[in-house]
């Protein structure tokens, strides 16, 4: 599905720092990560407490929390 030339505003929170971003309408969660220079493998995205997958489209006013994924022993 081609992206529209319109943009939408989403609120993101990374490590307790919140800001509002303008992204192209039709952008996916993966597109958001790419625009921020972040790797999908390193972050978990939550919207209203639910995991957002890379392919899911974001919409006007969505609040997204990005949580750094850690692994180790």
Q: What CA–CA distances, in Å, run from 62 to 9, 17, 25, 57, 70?
A: 8, 16, 12, 10, 25
Closest to 44 measured CA to CA, from 32, 36, 52, 34: 52
Residue 73 lies in a domain: no
List of residues 6+ apart from 71 with CB closer than 8 A: none
In this prediction, residue 73 carries a pLDDT of 63
Q: State the total domains in the chain.
A: 1
Provide the residue range defining the domain that includes 51.
Answer: 7-68
CATH number at residue 20: 3.10.20.90
Q: Tell me if residue 29 falls in helix, strand or coil.
A: helix
In this prediction, residue 63 carries a pLDDT of 94
Stated pTM of the model? 0.82
DSSP 3-state percent helix, strand, coil across the chain (nearest 5): 15, 45, 40
Q: Tell me if residue 38 falls in helix, strand or coil.
A: coil
pLDDT truncated to tens, each residue of the chain (73 aa)?
A: 455 468 999 999 988 899 999 999 999 999 999 999 999 899 999 998 899 999 999 999 999 999 998 876 6
């Amino acid at each position: 599905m081609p992206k529209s030339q319109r943009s939408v505003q989403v609120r993101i929170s990374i490590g307790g720092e919140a800001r509002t971003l303008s992204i192209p309408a039709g952008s996916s969660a993966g597109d958001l990560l790419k625009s921020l220079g972040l790797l999908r493998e390193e972050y978990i995205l939550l919207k209203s407490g639910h995991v957002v997958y890379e392919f899911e489209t974001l919409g006007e006013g969505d609040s997204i929390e990005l949580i750094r994924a850690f692994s180790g022993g």
